[in-house]
Amino acid sequence: MEHSKIERDYLERLKSDLVFEKQHWVLLVAAVLVGCIGLNLNAMPMILGAKLLSPLMPSIIGIGVGLSYVDFSLIRRSCWLVFIQVVVAVLLAVFYFCLSPLKLAGSELESQVAPTIGNILVAFIGGIVGAIGVRRTEVHHLAVGVALATSLVPPLCAAGYGIATGQLAYVKGSLYLFGINVFFILLGHYLVSQVFKQTRKRCTLTYAVYVIVMGLSLLLAIPAKLATDKRMVEENIRLFVEHQLPEQSVLSQRFDDEKKELRLIVIGPKLTVGDVQEIVHRQKEYGLEELKVVVQQLSTFEGEETDID
């Protein structure tokens, strides 16, 4: 009976956190404004502040735990709260960026629209750590760590920027980042609750929830995996150009992922046929054997243009 009482107390504590009173609205507005200003000014400390101020976590935890206990009342309540918070946050971000005179996206804004497998791993680990933390009495340092590691408010601010400036790529990428952060945080809570809970319902519904959750995790990971692969190729290209054309100054570098083609405009000592053959031969060392490299050379000595395929 003691374990059942602990579980009941745990669920009641979670449900009591699923309120959104005046102070929570103030926190949400403050988090969004600080996040928007941070992204607008490319200021990391402000972005970290927005993460710490975010009041989104209790409702996300509620979804994960609700799925584990197949508690549809907890799931519905949590989902509705998340929906309201997301809509308000995005609308507020749109309003801010419509008024802001700074429209150019900095590196921090760019980082919100290209999630990779690393983002998934951080969200999942954060979810597990957070799930363990909420079962302990002293959880403040864990909560701070999870808030800083994961990103909830900044992607919503980036989505508002995309809507305000008419750049749908920002909307799509940032909402995907927010989605995988939410899902893999709640996945961590779901799995930890499955391990620690004492009352286990062995029924078809429980297994159906498990299959759906695992299936969604795989589907959501696919775009991040593709983005990670593309980033690895770009890094290999950077190393390839840096190591194989050390005496050339690269004026332009364009990589077409669909055509598997790299176009370079370089200036420096004239490349001989032997140099070109050696460069092509070494593509395999960088995992770029399928890549077509097109180099347009501007010779500093002879003032002529040379195309090297």
> What residues have CB less than 8 Å from 159, skipping those under 6 apart?
90, 93, 170, 171, 174, 175, 178
Q: Is 60 exposed, middle or buried (0-12, 13-18, 19+ CB in 10 A)?
A: buried
Q: Report the alpha-carbon distance of residue 150 to residue 122 in Å, rounded.
A: 7
Residue reference for tokens 């176009």: 263
Express each pLDDT in 37-82 by its tens digit.
Answer: 999 898 888 888 888 888 888 888 888 888 888 888 888 889 999 9
Which CB contacts under 8 angstroms, 24+ apart, belong to 75-84? Answer: 77/15, 77/18, 78/18, 81/18, 81/20, 82/56, 82/182, 84/20
Identify the DSSP state of 299: E
Confidence of residue 199 (pLDDT cuts 50, 70, 90): low
Report how far apart, in Å, the C-alpha atoms of 18 and of each of 31, 63, 127, 305 are. 18, 11, 18, 67
- Helix residue ranges, H only, the chain: 2-17, 22-41, 44-53, 57-69, 72-99, 107-110, 117-133, 140-149, 153-165, 168-196, 204-244, 273-281
Tokens representing residue 80 in the block: 């509705």
The amino acid at 74: L
Supply the pLDDT for residue 69.
83
Whether the per-residue pLDDT at 148 is higher than 80: the answer is no
Neighbours of 35 (CB within 10 A): 33
Output the CA angle 166-122-150, nearest 5 degrees: 55
Residue, of 300 and 257, whose pLDDT is higher: 257
Q: What is the pLDDT of residues 22-33, one digit of tens each?
A: 888 898 999 999
Q: Which residue has the higher pLDDT, 1 or 263?
A: 263
The mean per-residue pLDDT over the stretch 89-107 comes to 90
pTM: 0.82
Looking at residue 139, what is its pLDDT? 54
Q: What is the dihedral of CA 165, 42, 227, 213, to 10 degrees?
A: -90
Average pLDDT over the chain, rounded to whole?
83
pLDDT digits (tens, 9 = 90+) for 35-44: 999 998 988 8
One-letter amino acid at 99 equals L
Question: What is the Cα–Cα distance from 57 to 198, expressed in whole angstroms?
Answer: 24
The CA-CA-CA angle for residues 131, 12, 196, to 5°, reads 35
pLDDT tier for residue 145 given thresholds of 50, 70 and 90:
low
Q: Tell me what percent of the residues of the chain surpass a pLDDT of 90.
A: 26
Per-residue pLDDT reduced to its tens digit, 203-261: 777 788 888 888 999 999 999 998 888 888 888 888 888 888 888 788 888 888 788 88
Angstrom distance (rounded) from CA 46 to CA 53? 10
